Structure formats: C-alpha cells, structure tokens
Chain A
Amino acid sequence: MSATETAGQPSVDVIDLRIALTGSGVDVVDEISVEVRPGEVLGLVGESGSGKTTVGMALLGHVRRGGEVVGGIIRIDGRDLSALGERELRRLRGGVVSYIPQDPGTSLNPALRISTQLEEILEAHAADGGQERVMARVRESLEEVALPNDDEFLKKYPHQLSGGQQQRVAIAMAFANRPHVIVCDEPTTGLDVTTQARVLETVRDLCQSHQVAALYVSHDLAVVAELADRVAVMYGGRIVESGTRDQLFSDPRHPYTRRLLRAVPDIAGKRTVVGIPGHAALPGSRPQGCYFHPRCQFARDDCRAEFPPVTDLGEGHKVRCYHVADAVHEAPPEGAGQIGKPRVGEDVVLAIRNLDAQYGDSQILFDINIDIHHNECVALVGESGSGKTTTARCVAGLHKNWTGEVSLRGTALEHSARERSGEERREIQYVFQNPYASLNPRTTIGQTIARRLKLFGRGGGREIGSKVAECLERVALSSSAADRFPDQLSGGERQRVAIARALAAEPHVLVCDEVTSALDVSVQAAIIDLLGRLRKEMGLSLLFITHDLALIRTIADRVAVVTGGHVVEYGPCEQIFTSPSADYTRKLLANTPSIEVALGHVTTPSP
C-alpha cells in the first residue's frame, strides 16, 4: 500500500480513451481514464464483454483486428503512444511495457528452449552486452521468479514444464527487460489455486521491488482484492467505479459493483451468492442512458436518459451513478441458495464403492467411496488432474475402464451408459462444464429438448411444444428460446438449456461437472441459485464437481476433497471450512483467494 503514496509522474496515464469498431463506429470502450504510478497495481475488473482486455492491450499500443483507437490519449512514461510509429512501438513492447498473457501454454513457442526464448527477448531490447552478459541476465530473471536456473532447466522445452512453471517463465520474460509498465491479462485463470497463490506472490514482489506499474486485468474479484492497490470496475466498456482497494471492497457505491460483490463466493464469509438478473451490455446492444439501468433496481428516468457523469466521492473514489446515496441503503439481496436448503433424505440414492479407474495403464482413481442421499448435494472438490471429473464420468457411464461398484438405489450399474437400461440412464443425468461445446450448434433448442423428452418417453406428439416450453420455463428461460440456435444465446443461457435438457428426463441424480467454471460470476451465482431451487422442487440429488472451494458453501451439504485420485477428506460442508482434518484441505483453504481475508475482515481459516 505504501506504493500509492509514491509521488511523481504516473507511468500509465490514459485520458478519455475510446476504441470503436472500424466501419460501424460502435464503441467497444469509451471514456476510459486511468492512472498507474510506479510500484502500484491497478486491478481492472469486469465480466466478459466489458472491454477490460481491450483496455489492457491498448497500453501496449495494440488494438485487435476490426477495432481502432478513435479518441483519447494513452501516455506511457509520459510518451503519447499515438505519436509513435510501428518501429518505436515494437521497441516499447517488451521493453518499457510488457505483457503477461492468460495462457502461457500458447504464448511460449513450443519449438524453442526456455533459454532461447529468454535470450531472444533480452537481445531484442538490449543495446549492448555480449553472450555472457545475456546468459547471466537469463539466469537472474529465472531466479527472480523462483525457478531453477541451472543448465538442465535452461535446456527444457515449454511442454516439459508444468502450467505454473510455464506461467512463471512468461513472467520472467515480461520482467526481463526491467519494464516500467506491465499488463497482466488474467495470468492465473487457468491455474490451480495453489499455483495461483505462488504466481500472484511472484508478480506482487517483482512489481514492488522494481517499482513497476502494473495493470492487472481480471474477472476474479478475490484475486484482485489480494493483489491490487487500486481497483477500477468496468461495465459495458466504461469504468463505472474506481478507488482504492479498501474503498471499493468495503464501501462499494455503484449498484453494479455492489451486486457483483454479492455474486462472488467467498470461503471466509458465510453469506451465499446472488446473481445479477438480465444481460450484460455488449458492444452494439447497449441501452440508452446508463448501461446498467435495465438490471438496476434504482433505475429512474434520469438513468434511462443519459450515462451518468463521474461523481467524485473524495480520496480518489469515483462513481458513475446518479443514485449513489440510494444504493448504499439497499437491503442486501437474500442468499437464495442457502435459504431453505431442502432436508436431506435418509435413503442412499447413489453409492460409489471402492471405485478404481484407469486411463490406459495409469490408474486415475483409488478406492473412491461416496454416498449421495435423497435430495442431497455432495460436492467433489479438487484441483485439475485430481480425478474429480473421471469420478463423475464413471458414474454417468462415459468412462468405462473402472472397477468397483456404482449403484443406484442398491442396484449395481453397468460400466458404460449404453449397457445400462433406459430407466437407469434416465435417472442419472449429466451437465457438462462447457455450454459452448455441449449443445449441437445445428439443432434448435426446442429440437434438442423435444428429442430428449421423446427418448425417455416423457412426451411426444401434439403436446410436445408445450412440454418443451415447460422444460424451458423450469430453468427460467422464455419459451421463445425454443426456436433459437445455441450461438444465439449467451453462455449462461446455454448452460440453462443444458440443465433443461438434463431435467427433461426427470432424473433423480444430476451430475454437474464444473457447470459454472466457464461463466461470469454474476451468471455463476444465478446458475447456482437455479440448481438450489430445482433441487428443492424436483427432489434432486446432486453430485457437484468443482475446483472452487468458495462455491460449495452455497450449495453443498457434504464435501469430498479429492487429490491424486484419493478422497482425502469427506464430511459435512461446514466442517471442511471450520475444522478441516486433512493437510491438503488446509492448504487449499489457505491458497484460495478471498476478499474478506485480503481486507483483513477475517483471518485465514487455518494455517
């Protein structure tokens, strides 16, 4: 925090930046003004389509194909980017301004050794220095990111490193030329929490020790709360609220910020998540007036007329809302997921006994034992590669190579879905992680659901149309969605359709495989809310697979923590948070970023 007080010229100074689509002139981002001082981390937060990445890339003098900067000034170290030619911009990038990409797996060249890639970026910018000096710098920069710098490591190729190591190589490359400004584009999104914690620490240390101004673009508020000195929240291509971290998280003023914070699950808080109804304002389909007004409970006529001007609340806390005073008095929305959690039944609906699973010769699961009672939600939590998804696939009959027993109401199930009876298949339904891949792009929503109804003998003939509408209404979609194709729907809507398709079979067990990990937090909260409601209405038992510990508090009754194919902890949800027994669970809890912990409102659950 001391960095905030550093006086002098800001390293990044953006004034009234406007980027629009070439041709149509529709703005992608507009009226963006940000300042970042040396040693300071500015978190730029927003959901997908908010324009946060566009702003981040603009600092590198880059605009994606189809767009152009049509107004405003971007100054890096006092130099106006628009005055620089392509040659000078190239020199600037990787030298004065550098970039940490989201996915190191695609940003590192798979055909070059680590040392070659680091040498290249050093040589591209270094004025002098022989081979030895460059090699010394290569080793030094690897040491900075806590990677080994011996010859053996330098000779490795990217694919020989883990995801976290790859990301740290990318960070080493970004910091190699001692940049003054660094743009981080969700660098920890693809990483497990344990790795994420280490990567964040590295970024923070390097920014502080080298007095680098960092713009940290992220959708993850908890990460930003842990890392940033100041935060700017974007909605619909504009910054709707900005301020210091404490101002923004402890005293948020904009209705959007307030709702967004209510949508973020937090391991330290007991509150449950609440979604934001309505659609995000995407470029080209933004409403007149304040972009948030269709989703805002305080919307008045003035909100519908014109976008609110900046209101300065003092001490750098700026909001763009007419009704700042009202928003604060809003009663926080109820946590819908937890209110009236259905009572868990006595009888075991699904039992997993001594489950071992293999992929080829390697064993993935070891002796998994889980019971799911009637109306119960059991969460399976683990990092990538822990075997949680394989467990779900064995239950659904998608993965066939397993031994042990999976039984539905006492009847052992066949290994593959095709060998099971139609009734058994109907009883267990599966919702996939990625709604962008789980719906056939060439079939309308109505056809997809109608086919599922017919397949399970739940309706056909004349009344099929009304049955489909019923299925869609169950997941809070309008029946007009039936005529649409998947690409005409947003991610959240697609996931609702996927749930509607699963529920068309009227199952008893719903297997949810990371169903919200591809969605924005506000949408995630709405989906979780929906699942909670459906569970109560339809008497569903859920097997809820997730990597996000914070999320399960809202929905789960019992939790199984999985790592390396073993269940290391299995017990009631609260117990996992209050008195975890396994070291691994404690480590997960400690590494999961939390807004509450970052602000010092609560201490980490356990060391």
Chain B
Amino acid sequence: MTDQTVEQALDLVPEAGPEAPPPRLQRFQWLGILRNASRLTRTRIGLAMVGLIVLIAVFGPLFAPHSETEFIAAPNHGPTSDAIFGADALGRDVFSRFLYGGLSVLWMSAAATLIGVVIGTAVGLVAAYSRNWLDDVLMRLNDVVLAFPQIIFVLLAVSAIGPKLWLIVLTVGITHAPRVARVMRGAAQQIVERDFIKAEEVAGEKRSRIIMGGLLPNVTSPLLVELGLRMTFSIGLIAAISFLGFGLQPPTADWGLMINENRLSITVMPWGVLLPVLAIAVLTVGTNLITDGIARAAIGLERSNE
C-alpha cells in the first residue's frame, strides 16, 4: 500500500520497454490519487450517495414541515398529506424528525474518524521510525486497546463518565487509533528502510522533520484508504451507540435514536425505522464505495510507477 514497492526500489535499471514511462508524481501524491479515484464509476456513485445524505442532513432542517418535537397526530398514525411518512410512536412527524436527525451522526462520525486517524498515524509513524523499545511499547499499548471490542470500550467509558457527546467522539476515535496505527506502521516500515531516510539520518536531520517530511508524504495512499474505512466504521458505531440510548438524549431527533424509539411499532408504522435505516445504509455503502475507489486508484498509481 505504499507508493513504491520494495521490488521497484531494487529494480535498478528499469528497461523502458512497452510499459509506459513513469508519470510525474506530484508532490502531493494524495491529490493525484483523489483525482484518479474520482474518475472511477464506483467512486462517483459513492460520492452521489454520500452527497445526497449530507444534503439531507445539512439542509433538511430548513425544509422540515414541522418542528422535531411537535406532536402532530396520534401515535403511529399512518401517512397523511400533512405528515407524508406518518407519525412516530409519540405522534411526532417522522419526516421532520428524519430531516433533523442526520447532522449529529455525520459530525460525530467525522470528528471521531479524524481523531482516530491523526492519533493512529502519529503512533504508527513514530513506532515505525523508532525501531527500538519505543516501537514495542507503542505496539503493545495498541494491543491492549485492540483487545476490547470497540463498542464495549465506548460503553464502558460512557457508563463511567456519562453520556457526553464529546466523550463518545473521543472514545470512538481512540478505539480507531490502534487499527490505523497498525496499517500506517506497516506502510512506513518499508519507507524507513529506503536510503533517502538514511541520508537524512546521516546528515543529522531532526527526527520530527524526517517523520513529517520523509515518511508522511510517502504513505498517503494507505492513509486515505484508512480515512474512508474508519469513516464507515464510525458511522455504524455512532448510530449503534445512539440506538442503545447512550448518545443524544430524547427528545432530540437522531437517526440511531429514531430506530430505537420506533422499533416496537415497526409492524404498524414501518417508516419511523425504515427512513433512518435507509439513510445510514446509503451513507455507509457510499463511503465504502469511495474508499474502494481510492484504494483502486492508489494501486493503479503504484502499477503505473513500476
């Protein structure tokens, strides 16, 4: 998953044969990967799906016919011209609650992903670069966090401190970190062995600069893939925590919470569950398609470099 494989480094005298001459690699390799990924159909479908849900979550509240907490009909009342998807278990407008309930899932997942990827990348790169006791300590600490299933870790923290949103974001991020760290360490280990890193060491370059300037720009393709992958997991986790009642508290509208609230009346009034479930499904499938596109583009870029 690195930009250049070890084999390529060993291929001392590449015969410029029928395989196309190497294309220019931009300094910002990730821009090139994103550009190539955006040309793939799967990425475009994924972008459309994610874009649709983001639009609903961000601008939906502006178009909501009712307030999220207003009682408009009898509980579990069927669809009417006023409430096109009917009323929920407490008599509130399902459609309005759906339009209001998306933003929390989105921002919490995005924030958790960012925290996880930043911490994980930092740990992974430092571990890969140090190659000594520090590497061992960091990776064993990783293993400790990895030993807990992600959701158990979050629930433990929430039950100890309380259902705070920042806590959920932080713990989801922290449980992502060791998974990201493993991947980034693996990718960086191949780069660390390259001579340009040794050249900087001989010159006495600062360690922080070697990591930021030598390692980081050369592991952007696994980094992007991790970003997409962890986003998908975050969405599922955050929605699950809300569903379990540890996230946003009623009467706030939230997709995970909506599923929980309406699950008992699913046979009478399926829309209260169906709408948020569909939205979460479309969102995760979308992020997964984008991630897949990025991974393919990254591999494609590697191939064309060989």
Binding site for B on A (CB under 8 A): 19, 21-22, 28, 48-49, 51-54, 63-67, 219, 282-284, 396-398, 417-418, 420, 422, 425, 429-430, 432-434, 436-444, 451-452, 455-456, 485, 487-488, 491, 498, 501, 505, 517-520
A-B contact pairs, 20 of them (CB 8 A): A21-B18, A49-B16, A52-B15, A54-B15, A64-B17, A65-B19, A66-B19, A283-B16, A397-B202, A398-B202, A418-B204, A422-B204, A425-B203, A425-B204, A437-B194, A437-B195, A441-B3, A442-B218, A485-B24, A485-B27
Residue pair A442, B21 in contact (C-beta under 8 Å): no
Q: Chain B: interface secondary structure?
A: loop
Which residues of B have CB within 8 Å of A21? 18, 20
Q: Known interface pairs A19-B18, A438-B196, A485-B27. Does A417 touch B9 (Cβ–Cβ under 8 Å)?
A: no
CB < 8 Å: which of A67, A284, A488 contacts B24? Answer: A488
With A434-B195, A485-B27 known to touch, is A418 a contact of B16 (CB < 8 Å)? no
Contact B18 A485 (CB under 8 A): no
With A19-B18, A417-B201, A418-B201 given, name 13 new contacts (CB 8 A).
A48-B16, A52-B15, A53-B15, A54-B15, A283-B16, A425-B202, A432-B195, A438-B194, A438-B198, A441-B3, A442-B218, A455-B203, A518-B13
Q: Evaluate contact between B9 and A282: CB separation under 8 angstroms.
A: no
Selected contact of A398 from candidates B12, B18, B198, CB within 8 Å? B198
C-alpha spacing A441/B19, complex, angstroms = 20
A430 touches B199 (CB 8 A): yes
Q: What is the bound-complex CA distance between A19 and B16, given in angstroms?
A: 13
> From A436, which residue of chain B is reached at the shortest CB distance?
B9
Which chain A residue has the least Cβ–Cβ distance from B18? A67
| Distance in Å: Cβ of A219 to nearest Cβ of chain B | 7
Contacts of A219 in B (CB 8 A): 13
The total of chain B residues at the interface (CB under 8 A) is 36
Evaluate contact between B18 and A432: CB separation under 8 angstroms: no
Q: Which residue of B lies closest to A419 (CB)?
A: B204
Q: Mark B1-35, 1 if CB is under 8 A from A, else 0.
A: 00110001101111111111110110111000000
B217 at the interface (CB under 8 A from A): yes
Q: How far is the CA of A157 from the CA of B287 in the complex (A)?
A: 46
Is B250 among interface residues, defined by CB-CB distance under 8 A? no
Cβ-based interface call for B136 (8 A): no
Which of B3, B29, B202: most chain A CB closer than 10 A?
B202
Please, which residues of chain A bring their CB within 8 A of the CB of B305?
487
Which B residues lie within 8 Å of A49 (CB)? 15-16
B51 at the interface (CB under 8 A from A): no
CB-CB under 8 A from A65, the residues of chain B are 18-19
| B214 close to A (CB within 8 Å) | yes
B213 within 8 Å of A (CB atoms): yes
Chain A contacts for B204, CB-based, 8 A: 417-418, 420, 422, 425, 455
How far, in Å, is A65 (CB) from chain B's closest CB? 7
B17 contacts across to A, CB distance below 8 A: 28, 51, 53-54, 64, 67, 283
Which of chain A's residues have a CB closer than 8 A to the CB of B15?
Answer: 48-49, 52-54
> What residue in chain B is nearest A433 (Cβ atoms)?
B195
Which of B18, B24, B27, B205 has a CB less than 8 Å from the CB of A455?
A: B205
Given A65-B18, A505-B203, decide whether A441 and B12 contact each other with a Cβ distance below 8 A: no
**Closest chain B residue to A416 by CB distance?**
B201
The CA of A67 and the CA of B201, in the complex, are separated in Å by 42
Most buried by A among B4, B14, B195: B195
Contact A441 B218 (CB under 8 A): yes
